[in-house]
Structure 1
Amino acid sequence: MKTLFIGTAIAMTAVTSAAAQELSYGRLIADFEMLSTPGGDVNASILGAEAGVRVQDFDFWINGTQVTISPDGVPVNLTADVSTIGAGYTFSGNYRVDVSSSNLGFGIGGTGLSIGLDEIGVAYDNGTFFGRLSFADINQPVPGVDGLLGLHVGYQFNDYADVSMSVHALDETSGTVDPLIILGGEYDTGQWGVKAEYASISLGGTDLSLISLAGNYQINDQWGVRGAYSTADIAGTDADLIRLGGTYNVNDKYTLYAGLSRVDLGGFEVDGFNIGMTMDFGDKPASYETTADRLLGVIETAGAFDY
Structure 2
Amino acid sequence: MSNLELTGAYFDAWIRRDADAVLATLGETGTYEDPNTGRPISGEALRAYVTATWSVFPDLTFEIVSEAETGPDSVAAQWIMRGTNTGPMNGLPPTGKTVEVAGADFITIGDGHIRTVTGYFDTRAVPAQLGLDIIVQPPQLGPFSFGTSVSVSTGKRIEPGAYSITCLDARDDAAVEKVREGSRASMIDMLAMDDFIGATTAKIGNRMVTISAWTNPDSPRRVMREGAHAQAMKQFYDGSVASAGYTSVWTLERNNGFMVRCDACGKMTRNPEDGAACACGEPLPAHPPYW
TM-score range, shorter chain: under 0.3
TM-score, normalising length from structure 2?
0.24
TM-score, normalising length from structure 1?
0.23
**Which structure has greater helix proportion?**
2
**Which structure has greater strand proportion?**
1
